[in-house]
Structure 1
Protein backbone atom coordinates (compact mmCIF):
# COMPACT_ATOMS: atom_id res chain seq x y z
CA UNK A 1 0.00 0.00 0.00
CA UNK A 2 1.38 3.39 -0.99
CA UNK A 3 1.73 6.32 1.41
CA UNK A 4 -0.97 8.15 -0.51
CA UNK A 5 -3.49 5.32 -0.09
CA UNK A 6 -2.64 4.93 3.60
CA UNK A 7 -3.20 8.65 4.33
CA UNK A 8 -6.42 8.60 2.37
CA UNK A 9 -7.75 5.65 4.37
CA UNK A 10 -6.78 7.31 7.66
CA UNK A 11 -8.58 10.50 6.68
CA UNK A 12 -11.70 8.60 5.67
CA UNK A 13 -11.70 6.53 8.89
CA UNK A 14 -11.26 9.67 11.02
CA UNK A 15 -14.25 11.35 9.40
CA UNK A 16 -16.26 8.13 9.43
CA UNK A 17 -15.82 8.06 13.22
CA UNK A 18 -17.11 11.65 13.40
CA UNK A 19 -20.07 10.73 11.17
CA UNK A 20 -20.99 7.67 13.26
CA UNK A 21 -20.63 9.64 16.49
CA UNK A 22 -22.97 12.27 15.11
CA UNK A 23 -25.45 9.58 14.08
CA UNK A 24 -25.38 8.14 17.61
CA UNK A 25 -26.04 11.58 19.12
CA UNK A 26 -28.85 12.18 16.62
CA UNK A 27 -30.50 8.87 17.49
CA UNK A 28 -30.10 9.53 21.21
CA UNK A 29 -31.60 12.99 20.81
CA UNK A 30 -34.62 11.61 18.95
CA UNK A 31 -35.05 8.99 21.67
CA UNK A 32 -34.95 11.60 24.44
CA UNK A 33 -37.40 13.83 22.59
CA UNK A 34 -39.88 11.06 21.78
CA UNK A 35 -39.60 8.93 24.94
CA UNK A 36 -37.83 10.89 27.66
CA UNK A 37 -39.31 8.79 30.47
CA UNK A 38 -37.54 5.58 29.42
CA UNK A 39 -34.31 7.54 28.93
CA UNK A 40 -34.46 8.80 32.51
CA UNK A 41 -35.14 5.30 33.83
CA UNK A 42 -31.96 4.00 32.20
CA UNK A 43 -29.58 6.90 32.80
CA UNK A 44 -31.02 8.01 36.12
CA UNK A 45 -30.91 11.34 37.86
CA UNK A 46 -27.79 12.68 36.17
CA UNK A 47 -29.67 13.12 32.91
CA UNK A 48 -32.59 14.66 34.78
CA UNK A 49 -30.22 17.19 36.30
CA UNK A 50 -28.98 18.19 32.86
CA UNK A 51 -32.55 18.53 31.62
CA UNK A 52 -33.14 21.25 34.20
CA UNK A 53 -30.95 23.65 32.23
CA UNK A 54 -31.27 22.66 28.57
CA UNK A 55 -33.59 20.64 26.40
CA UNK A 56 -31.25 17.70 26.04
CA UNK A 57 -33.18 16.12 23.18
CA UNK A 58 -33.00 19.10 20.83
CA UNK A 59 -29.41 19.82 21.86
CA UNK A 60 -28.33 16.26 20.97
CA UNK A 61 -30.22 16.39 17.68
CA UNK A 62 -28.50 19.64 16.70
CA UNK A 63 -25.06 18.37 17.74
CA UNK A 64 -25.62 15.09 15.90
CA UNK A 65 -26.63 16.85 12.68
CA UNK A 66 -23.55 19.10 12.81
CA UNK A 67 -21.18 16.17 13.41
CA UNK A 68 -22.78 14.05 10.68
CA UNK A 69 -22.50 16.90 8.19
CA UNK A 70 -18.89 17.52 9.18
CA UNK A 71 -17.99 13.83 8.90
CA UNK A 72 -19.71 13.50 5.53
CA UNK A 73 -17.91 16.57 4.23
CA UNK A 74 -14.54 15.24 5.38
CA UNK A 75 -15.16 11.78 3.90
CA UNK A 76 -16.15 13.23 0.54
CA UNK A 77 -13.17 15.56 0.54
CA UNK A 78 -10.75 12.73 1.29
CA UNK A 79 -12.34 10.29 -1.17
CA UNK A 80 -12.52 12.76 -4.05
CA UNK A 81 -9.29 14.47 -3.00
CA UNK A 82 -11.10 17.77 -3.39
CA UNK A 83 -9.16 20.81 -2.26
CA UNK A 84 -12.36 22.85 -1.93
CA UNK A 85 -14.10 20.29 0.31
CA UNK A 86 -11.01 19.82 2.49
CA UNK A 87 -10.59 23.58 2.96
CA UNK A 88 -14.27 23.84 3.92
CA UNK A 89 -13.83 20.95 6.36
CA UNK A 90 -10.83 22.58 8.03
CA UNK A 91 -12.58 25.95 8.15
CA UNK A 92 -15.55 24.48 10.02
CA UNK A 93 -13.22 22.68 12.44
CA UNK A 94 -11.35 25.93 13.06
CA UNK A 95 -14.60 27.81 13.69
CA UNK A 96 -15.70 25.16 16.21
CA UNK A 97 -12.31 25.33 17.94
CA UNK A 98 -12.42 29.14 18.17
CA UNK A 99 -16.01 28.98 19.48
CA UNK A 100 -14.93 26.55 22.20
CA UNK A 101 -12.15 28.91 23.28
CA UNK A 102 -14.56 31.86 23.26
CA UNK A 103 -17.08 30.00 25.43
CA UNK A 104 -14.34 29.01 27.88
CA UNK A 105 -13.12 32.62 28.14
CA UNK A 106 -16.66 33.95 28.64
CA UNK A 107 -17.35 31.37 31.36
CA UNK A 108 -14.12 32.25 33.17
CA UNK A 109 -14.55 36.02 32.89
CA UNK A 110 -18.29 36.18 33.55
CA UNK A 111 -18.58 33.50 36.23
CA UNK A 112 -20.47 35.86 38.53
CA UNK A 113 -22.93 36.74 35.75
CA UNK A 114 -23.45 33.05 35.01
CA UNK A 115 -24.10 32.45 38.71
CA UNK A 116 -26.77 35.16 38.77
CA UNK A 117 -28.48 33.84 35.65
CA UNK A 118 -28.46 30.26 36.92
CA UNK A 119 -29.64 31.36 40.34
CA UNK A 120 -32.66 33.10 38.83
CA UNK A 121 -33.53 29.88 37.00
CA UNK A 122 -32.63 27.18 39.50
CA UNK A 123 -33.71 28.57 42.88
CA UNK A 124 -37.36 29.18 41.86
CA UNK A 125 -37.42 25.70 40.37
CA UNK A 126 -36.19 24.20 43.66
CA UNK A 127 -38.82 26.05 45.66
CA UNK A 128 -41.54 24.91 43.28
CA UNK A 129 -40.55 21.36 42.31
CA UNK A 130 -38.31 19.81 45.00
CA UNK A 131 -40.32 17.19 46.85
CA UNK A 132 -43.02 17.02 44.17
CA UNK A 133 -41.27 16.15 40.91
CA UNK A 134 -39.54 12.82 41.43
CA UNK A 135 -36.92 13.27 38.70
CA UNK A 136 -35.88 16.73 39.89
CA UNK A 137 -35.79 15.61 43.52
CA UNK A 138 -33.60 12.60 42.67
CA UNK A 139 -31.34 14.75 40.52
CA UNK A 140 -30.71 17.23 43.31
CA UNK A 141 -30.24 14.46 45.88
CA UNK A 142 -27.60 12.82 43.67
CA UNK A 143 -25.89 16.16 43.08
CA UNK A 144 -25.82 17.08 46.75
CA UNK A 145 -24.61 13.62 47.74
CA UNK A 146 -21.87 13.56 45.12
CA UNK A 147 -20.56 17.09 45.69
CA UNK A 148 -21.30 17.21 49.43
CA UNK A 149 -23.26 20.43 49.01
CA UNK A 150 -26.69 21.84 49.76
CA UNK A 151 -28.96 23.57 47.24
CA UNK A 152 -27.72 26.09 44.73
CA UNK A 153 -26.60 28.66 47.32
CA UNK A 154 -27.29 26.94 50.67
CA UNK A 155 -30.12 25.45 52.72
CA UNK A 156 -32.27 28.59 52.33
CA UNK A 157 -33.05 27.57 48.74
CA UNK A 158 -35.34 24.86 50.16
CA UNK A 159 -37.41 27.20 52.30
CA UNK A 160 -41.11 27.07 51.38
CA UNK A 161 -40.46 24.21 48.98
CA UNK A 162 -43.00 21.34 48.90
CA UNK A 163 -40.48 19.17 50.77
CA UNK A 164 -40.01 21.81 53.48
CA UNK A 165 -43.74 22.35 53.89
CA UNK A 166 -44.51 18.64 54.07
CA UNK A 167 -41.71 17.55 56.42
CA UNK A 168 -41.01 20.87 58.16
CA UNK A 169 -37.31 20.18 57.62
CA UNK A 170 -34.55 20.37 55.04
CA UNK A 171 -32.72 17.68 53.05
CA UNK A 172 -30.30 15.73 55.23
CA UNK A 173 -27.46 16.75 52.91
CA UNK A 174 -27.75 20.26 54.36
CA UNK A 175 -26.75 19.01 57.82
CA UNK A 176 -23.53 17.48 59.04
CA UNK A 177 -25.32 14.71 60.87
CA UNK A 178 -26.82 11.67 59.20
CA UNK A 179 -30.13 11.93 61.03
CA UNK A 180 -33.33 11.63 59.07
CA UNK A 181 -34.37 15.11 60.15
CA UNK A 182 -32.52 18.34 59.42
CA UNK A 183 -33.99 21.39 61.11
CA UNK A 184 -33.29 24.97 60.15
CA UNK A 185 -31.02 25.51 63.16
CA UNK A 186 -29.04 22.38 62.35
CA UNK A 187 -28.67 23.43 58.71
CA UNK A 188 -27.57 26.92 59.72
CA UNK A 189 -24.99 25.49 62.13
CA UNK A 190 -23.65 23.00 59.57
CA UNK A 191 -23.24 25.78 56.99
CA UNK A 192 -22.83 23.37 54.06
CA UNK A 193 -21.68 25.10 50.88
CA UNK A 194 -24.00 25.55 47.91
CA UNK A 195 -23.54 23.22 44.94
CA UNK A 196 -22.54 25.98 42.52
CA UNK A 197 -19.71 27.21 44.74
CA UNK A 198 -18.66 23.65 45.53
CA UNK A 199 -18.54 22.83 41.83
CA UNK A 200 -16.37 25.88 41.13
CA UNK A 201 -14.11 24.89 44.00
CA UNK A 202 -13.68 21.37 42.62
CA UNK A 203 -12.91 22.75 39.16
CA UNK A 204 -10.31 25.12 40.59
CA UNK A 205 -8.67 22.25 42.47
CA UNK A 206 -8.42 20.26 39.24
CA UNK A 207 -7.82 23.23 36.94
CA UNK A 208 -4.59 21.81 35.53
CA UNK A 209 -6.25 18.50 34.66
CA UNK A 210 -9.32 20.18 33.16
CA UNK A 211 -7.17 22.60 31.17
CA UNK A 212 -4.88 19.83 29.95
CA UNK A 213 -7.77 17.68 28.78
CA UNK A 214 -9.43 20.64 27.05
CA UNK A 215 -6.17 21.64 25.35
CA UNK A 216 -5.57 18.05 24.26
CA UNK A 217 -9.03 17.74 22.75
CA UNK A 218 -8.62 21.04 20.92
CA UNK A 219 -5.20 20.06 19.58
CA UNK A 220 -6.48 16.73 18.29
CA UNK A 221 -9.54 18.44 16.84
CA UNK A 222 -7.48 20.77 14.65
CA UNK A 223 -4.10 19.13 14.11
CA UNK A 224 -5.04 15.52 13.36
CA UNK A 225 -7.22 16.10 10.28
CA UNK A 226 -4.84 18.80 9.06
CA UNK A 227 -1.78 16.58 9.44
CA UNK A 228 -3.58 13.85 7.56
CA UNK A 229 -4.97 15.93 4.73
CA UNK A 230 -1.95 18.12 3.93
CA UNK A 231 0.32 15.14 3.17
CA UNK A 232 -2.62 13.58 1.35
CA UNK A 233 -2.82 16.53 -0.99
CA UNK A 234 0.96 16.72 -1.46
CA UNK A 235 1.17 13.01 -2.23
CA UNK A 236 -1.63 13.38 -4.74
CA UNK A 237 0.16 16.25 -6.51
CA UNK A 238 3.40 14.26 -6.51
CA UNK A 239 1.63 11.29 -8.06
CA UNK A 240 0.15 13.47 -10.78
CA UNK A 241 3.58 14.94 -11.59
CA UNK A 242 5.07 11.46 -12.00
CA UNK A 243 2.48 10.32 -14.55
CA UNK A 244 4.12 10.34 -18.01
CA UNK A 245 2.50 12.10 -20.92
CA UNK A 246 1.10 9.72 -23.52
CA UNK A 247 0.47 11.00 -27.00
CA UNK A 248 -3.00 10.23 -28.33
CA UNK A 249 -3.40 7.96 -31.29
CA UNK A 250 -4.26 10.46 -33.96
CA UNK A 251 -2.63 12.05 -36.96
CA UNK A 252 -0.73 15.27 -36.41
CA UNK A 253 1.48 17.63 -38.27
CA UNK A 254 5.12 17.22 -37.19
CA UNK A 255 5.73 20.87 -38.00
CA UNK A 256 3.26 21.88 -35.29
CA UNK A 257 3.97 19.15 -32.76
CA UNK A 258 4.19 20.45 -29.18
CA UNK A 259 4.64 18.68 -25.89
CA UNK A 260 3.78 19.95 -22.45
CA UNK A 261 6.36 20.31 -19.70
CA UNK A 262 6.28 21.69 -16.18
CA UNK A 263 7.33 25.11 -17.50
CA UNK A 264 4.76 25.29 -20.28
CA UNK A 265 4.41 24.15 -23.87
CA UNK A 266 7.51 23.20 -25.90
CA UNK A 267 7.48 23.54 -29.68
CA UNK A 268 9.18 20.69 -31.60
CA UNK A 269 10.71 21.88 -34.88
CA UNK A 270 12.46 19.97 -37.63
CA UNK A 271 16.03 20.66 -38.55
CA UNK A 272 17.08 21.22 -42.22
CA UNK A 273 17.51 17.44 -42.61
CA UNK A 274 13.93 16.82 -41.54
CA UNK A 275 14.70 15.49 -38.09
CA UNK A 276 12.92 16.66 -34.94
Structure 2
Protein backbone atom coordinates (compact mmCIF):
# COMPACT_ATOMS: atom_id res chain seq x y z
CA UNK A 1 0.00 0.00 0.00
CA UNK A 2 1.48 3.35 -1.05
CA UNK A 3 1.58 6.44 1.17
CA UNK A 4 -1.41 8.15 -0.48
CA UNK A 5 -3.57 5.04 -0.10
CA UNK A 6 -2.63 4.77 3.59
CA UNK A 7 -3.49 8.45 4.12
CA UNK A 8 -6.80 7.92 2.33
CA UNK A 9 -7.69 5.01 4.64
CA UNK A 10 -6.79 7.10 7.69
CA UNK A 11 -8.85 10.01 6.34
CA UNK A 12 -11.90 7.80 5.71
CA UNK A 13 -11.70 6.11 9.11
CA UNK A 14 -11.15 9.35 11.02
CA UNK A 15 -13.92 11.25 9.29
CA UNK A 16 -16.24 8.26 9.41
CA UNK A 17 -15.99 8.40 13.19
CA UNK A 18 -16.61 12.16 13.11
CA UNK A 19 -19.65 11.68 10.87
CA UNK A 20 -21.19 9.00 13.11
CA UNK A 21 -20.50 11.03 16.25
CA UNK A 22 -21.96 14.15 14.64
CA UNK A 23 -25.06 12.27 13.50
CA UNK A 24 -25.56 10.92 17.01
CA UNK A 25 -25.18 14.38 18.57
CA UNK A 26 -27.50 15.89 15.96
CA UNK A 27 -30.08 13.17 16.57
CA UNK A 28 -29.97 13.69 20.33
CA UNK A 29 -30.29 17.46 19.87
CA UNK A 30 -33.33 17.10 17.62
CA UNK A 31 -34.91 14.58 19.99
CA UNK A 32 -34.30 16.86 22.98
CA UNK A 33 -36.00 19.80 21.25
CA UNK A 34 -38.87 17.86 19.66
CA UNK A 35 -39.66 15.38 22.42
CA UNK A 36 -38.35 16.90 25.65
CA UNK A 37 -41.36 15.54 27.55
CA UNK A 38 -40.30 11.94 26.94
CA UNK A 39 -36.74 12.76 27.98
CA UNK A 40 -37.94 14.23 31.25
CA UNK A 41 -40.05 11.13 31.93
CA UNK A 42 -36.97 8.95 31.42
CA UNK A 43 -34.92 11.11 33.78
CA UNK A 44 -37.66 10.94 36.40
CA UNK A 45 -37.49 7.13 36.39
CA UNK A 46 -33.78 7.13 37.25
CA UNK A 47 -33.11 6.98 40.98
CA UNK A 48 -31.15 9.83 42.60
CA UNK A 49 -31.13 11.86 39.40
CA UNK A 50 -29.59 15.32 40.02
CA UNK A 51 -32.13 18.10 39.62
CA UNK A 52 -29.92 19.96 37.14
CA UNK A 53 -30.27 17.10 34.63
CA UNK A 54 -33.86 18.22 34.10
CA UNK A 55 -32.47 21.28 32.33
CA UNK A 56 -30.69 19.24 29.65
CA UNK A 57 -33.18 20.18 26.93
CA UNK A 58 -31.95 23.77 27.10
CA UNK A 59 -28.78 22.69 25.31
CA UNK A 60 -30.73 21.15 22.41
CA UNK A 61 -29.86 23.98 20.03
CA UNK A 62 -26.17 23.68 20.90
CA UNK A 63 -26.25 19.94 20.23
CA UNK A 64 -27.93 20.53 16.88
CA UNK A 65 -25.34 23.14 15.87
CA UNK A 66 -22.34 21.03 16.93
CA UNK A 67 -23.79 17.89 15.38
CA UNK A 68 -24.48 19.63 12.07
CA UNK A 69 -20.90 20.92 11.81
CA UNK A 70 -19.45 17.49 12.63
CA UNK A 71 -21.73 15.76 10.12
CA UNK A 72 -20.68 18.21 7.41
CA UNK A 73 -16.99 17.80 8.22
CA UNK A 74 -17.24 14.02 8.36
CA UNK A 75 -19.14 13.87 5.07
CA UNK A 76 -16.72 16.13 3.22
CA UNK A 77 -13.62 14.41 4.55
CA UNK A 78 -14.89 10.86 4.11
CA UNK A 79 -16.48 11.27 0.67
CA UNK A 80 -13.68 13.50 -0.52
CA UNK A 81 -11.11 10.82 0.31
CA UNK A 82 -13.16 7.96 -1.18
CA UNK A 83 -14.12 9.77 -4.39
CA UNK A 84 -10.77 11.60 -4.60
CA UNK A 85 -12.72 14.84 -4.99
CA UNK A 86 -10.46 17.92 -4.90
CA UNK A 87 -13.49 20.15 -4.27
CA UNK A 88 -14.64 18.23 -1.18
CA UNK A 89 -11.12 17.93 0.19
CA UNK A 90 -10.48 21.63 -0.29
CA UNK A 91 -13.80 22.53 1.37
CA UNK A 92 -12.93 20.23 4.28
CA UNK A 93 -9.52 21.90 4.60
CA UNK A 94 -11.06 25.40 4.57
CA UNK A 95 -13.64 24.58 7.25
CA UNK A 96 -11.04 23.01 9.56
CA UNK A 97 -8.71 25.95 8.91
CA UNK A 98 -11.45 28.45 9.82
CA UNK A 99 -12.18 26.57 13.04
CA UNK A 100 -8.47 26.48 13.86
CA UNK A 101 -8.06 30.22 13.17
CA UNK A 102 -11.09 30.99 15.35
CA UNK A 103 -9.61 28.97 18.22
CA UNK A 104 -6.20 30.62 17.91
CA UNK A 105 -7.79 34.08 17.64
CA UNK A 106 -9.85 33.43 20.76
CA UNK A 107 -6.75 32.36 22.68
CA UNK A 108 -4.85 35.46 21.53
CA UNK A 109 -7.71 37.75 22.53
CA UNK A 110 -7.82 36.19 25.99
CA UNK A 111 -4.05 36.37 26.51
CA UNK A 112 -3.22 39.72 24.90
CA UNK A 113 -6.41 41.66 25.46
CA UNK A 114 -7.17 40.47 28.98
CA UNK A 115 -8.38 43.94 30.11
CA UNK A 116 -10.86 43.89 27.21
CA UNK A 117 -12.02 40.43 28.28
CA UNK A 118 -12.42 41.65 31.86
CA UNK A 119 -14.50 44.59 30.62
CA UNK A 120 -16.65 42.25 28.54
CA UNK A 121 -17.18 39.95 31.54
CA UNK A 122 -18.09 42.96 33.67
CA UNK A 123 -20.68 44.00 31.09
CA UNK A 124 -22.08 40.47 30.91
CA UNK A 125 -22.22 40.39 34.70
CA UNK A 126 -24.12 43.68 34.82
CA UNK A 127 -26.65 42.44 32.28
CA UNK A 128 -27.00 39.11 34.11
CA UNK A 129 -27.71 40.85 37.41
CA UNK A 130 -30.29 43.13 35.80
CA UNK A 131 -31.99 40.12 34.20
CA UNK A 132 -32.06 38.33 37.56
CA UNK A 133 -33.71 41.32 39.21
CA UNK A 134 -36.39 41.39 36.50
CA UNK A 135 -37.06 37.72 35.68
CA UNK A 136 -35.95 35.48 38.56
CA UNK A 137 -39.11 34.17 40.16
CA UNK A 138 -41.24 35.52 37.30
CA UNK A 139 -39.96 33.72 34.19
CA UNK A 140 -40.13 29.93 34.87
CA UNK A 141 -37.52 28.93 32.27
CA UNK A 142 -35.05 31.59 33.37
CA UNK A 143 -35.59 30.67 37.02
CA UNK A 144 -35.08 26.95 36.37
CA UNK A 145 -31.85 27.55 34.43
CA UNK A 146 -30.42 29.66 37.25
CA UNK A 147 -31.51 27.13 39.87
CA UNK A 148 -29.80 24.33 37.93
CA UNK A 149 -26.64 26.44 37.55
CA UNK A 150 -26.52 27.32 41.24
CA UNK A 151 -27.18 23.70 42.25
CA UNK A 152 -24.50 22.38 39.91
CA UNK A 153 -21.78 24.88 40.88
CA UNK A 154 -22.92 25.31 44.51
CA UNK A 155 -23.06 29.06 44.07
CA UNK A 156 -25.44 31.99 44.47
CA UNK A 157 -26.24 34.61 41.82
CA UNK A 158 -23.70 35.99 39.39
CA UNK A 159 -21.66 37.83 42.04
CA UNK A 160 -23.47 37.11 45.34
CA UNK A 161 -26.86 36.93 47.05
CA UNK A 162 -27.52 40.67 46.61
CA UNK A 163 -28.17 40.00 42.91
CA UNK A 164 -31.60 38.70 43.95
CA UNK A 165 -32.56 41.74 46.02
CA UNK A 166 -35.77 43.33 44.67
CA UNK A 167 -36.28 40.44 42.23
CA UNK A 168 -39.81 38.97 41.84
CA UNK A 169 -38.70 35.96 43.93
CA UNK A 170 -37.44 38.28 46.67
CA UNK A 171 -40.66 40.29 46.73
CA UNK A 172 -43.03 37.31 46.56
CA UNK A 173 -41.27 35.26 49.26
CA UNK A 174 -41.11 37.64 52.19
CA UNK A 175 -37.80 39.26 51.21
CA UNK A 176 -36.00 35.92 51.20
CA UNK A 177 -33.28 34.55 48.90
CA UNK A 178 -32.95 31.25 46.99
CA UNK A 179 -32.02 28.31 49.24
CA UNK A 180 -28.69 27.93 47.41
CA UNK A 181 -27.54 31.28 48.84
CA UNK A 182 -27.49 30.13 52.44
CA UNK A 183 -25.77 27.48 54.53
CA UNK A 184 -28.91 27.14 56.63
CA UNK A 185 -32.58 28.05 56.41
CA UNK A 186 -34.50 30.28 56.34
CA UNK A 187 -32.51 32.10 53.71
CA UNK A 188 -32.94 35.75 54.61
CA UNK A 189 -30.66 38.77 54.80
CA UNK A 190 -29.01 37.65 58.05
CA UNK A 191 -28.27 34.04 57.03
CA UNK A 192 -27.25 34.99 53.48
CA UNK A 193 -24.88 37.71 54.72
CA UNK A 194 -23.05 35.26 57.01
CA UNK A 195 -22.94 32.36 54.54
CA UNK A 196 -19.86 31.24 52.63
CA UNK A 197 -21.64 30.74 49.31
CA UNK A 198 -19.75 32.42 46.45
CA UNK A 199 -21.15 33.86 43.25
CA UNK A 200 -21.38 31.58 40.20
CA UNK A 201 -18.87 33.73 38.31
CA UNK A 202 -16.17 33.14 40.93
CA UNK A 203 -16.99 29.42 41.18
CA UNK A 204 -16.69 29.11 37.39
CA UNK A 205 -13.32 30.89 37.43
CA UNK A 206 -12.10 28.57 40.19
CA UNK A 207 -13.32 25.54 38.25
CA UNK A 208 -11.40 26.65 35.15
CA UNK A 209 -8.24 27.47 37.11
CA UNK A 210 -8.32 24.15 38.96
CA UNK A 211 -8.61 22.26 35.67
CA UNK A 212 -6.32 24.50 33.60
CA UNK A 213 -3.80 21.71 32.92
CA UNK A 214 -6.51 19.33 31.69
CA UNK A 215 -8.15 22.03 29.57
CA UNK A 216 -4.77 23.00 28.10
CA UNK A 217 -3.94 19.39 27.24
CA UNK A 218 -7.34 18.91 25.59
CA UNK A 219 -6.91 22.15 23.62
CA UNK A 220 -3.45 21.11 22.43
CA UNK A 221 -4.75 17.66 21.47
CA UNK A 222 -7.59 19.16 19.45
CA UNK A 223 -5.19 21.59 17.75
CA UNK A 224 -2.83 18.72 16.87
CA UNK A 225 -5.71 16.71 15.36
CA UNK A 226 -6.84 19.72 13.33
CA UNK A 227 -3.34 20.34 11.99
CA UNK A 228 -2.97 16.64 11.10
CA UNK A 229 -6.37 16.66 9.38
CA UNK A 230 -5.42 19.72 7.34
CA UNK A 231 -2.05 18.22 6.37
CA UNK A 232 -3.62 14.92 5.25
CA UNK A 233 -6.43 16.64 3.35
CA UNK A 234 -3.93 18.87 1.52
CA UNK A 235 -1.78 15.90 0.58
CA UNK A 236 -4.81 14.03 -0.77
CA UNK A 237 -6.02 17.20 -2.50
CA UNK A 238 -2.68 17.54 -4.28
CA UNK A 239 -2.75 13.89 -5.39
CA UNK A 240 -6.39 14.10 -6.50
CA UNK A 241 -5.74 17.31 -8.46
CA UNK A 242 -2.88 15.66 -10.32
CA UNK A 243 -5.04 12.66 -11.21
CA UNK A 244 -7.82 14.90 -12.49
* TM-score bracket, shorter-length normalisation: 0.7 to 0.9
Cα gap change, 1:174 to 1:57, in 2 (>3 Å):
closer
Structure 1 residue 230 displacement after superposition: 6.2
1: distance between equivalents of 2:236 and 2:104? 28
Query: Are 2:179 and 1:172 aligned?
Result: yes
- The equivalent residue for 1:260 is none
- The equivalent residue for 2:74 is 71
Gap runs ≥5 in structure 2: 44-50
Structure 1 residue 163 displacement after superposition: 2.8
Higher normalized helix content (fraction of residues)? 2
- 1:244-270 per-residue CA deviation (whole Å, 9 max, x = no partner) reads xxxxxxxxxxxxxxxxxxxxxxxxxxx
- Asked if the contact 2:177–2:188 (Cα under 8 Å) also holds between the matched residues in 1, the reply is yes
Gap runs ≥5 in structure 1: 241-276
- The equivalent residue for 2:109 is 106
What TM-score do the two structures reach when normalised by structure 1?
Answer: 0.68
- The equivalent residue for 1:95 is 98
2: distance between equivalents of 1:89 and 1:15? 10
What TM-score do the two structures reach when normalised by structure 2?
Answer: 0.75
2: distance between equivalents of 1:181 and 1:107? 41
Paired residue secondary structure (1:98): helix
Q: How many residues align?
A: 232
Structure 1 residue 132 displacement after superposition: 4.8
Paired residue secondary structure (1:19): helix
Structure 1 residue 12 displacement after superposition: 0.9
- The equivalent residue for 2:169 is 163
2: distance between equivalents of 1:37 and 1:115? 35
Query: Are 2:85 and 1:85 aligned?
Result: no
1: distance between equivalents of 2:134 and 2:145? 15
Paired residue secondary structure (1:180): coil
Structure 1 residue 87 displacement after superposition: 3.1
- The equivalent residue for 2:188 is 183
Q: Which structure has the bigger radius of gyration?
A: 1
Q: Compare 85-94 and 38-47 and name the one that shifted more.
A: 38-47
Give the alignment of 1:1-276 within 5 angstroms: 5-39=5-39, 45=52, 48=55, 51=58, 56-107=59-110, 109=114, 110-132=116-138, 135-168=141-174, 169-175=176-182, 177=183, 179-190=184-195, 192-223=197-228, 225-226=229-230, 228-229=232-233
1: distance between equivalents of 2:12 and 2:185? 58
Cα gap change, 1:198 to 1:222, in 2 (>3 Å):
same
1: distance between equivalents of 2:15 and 2:169? 50
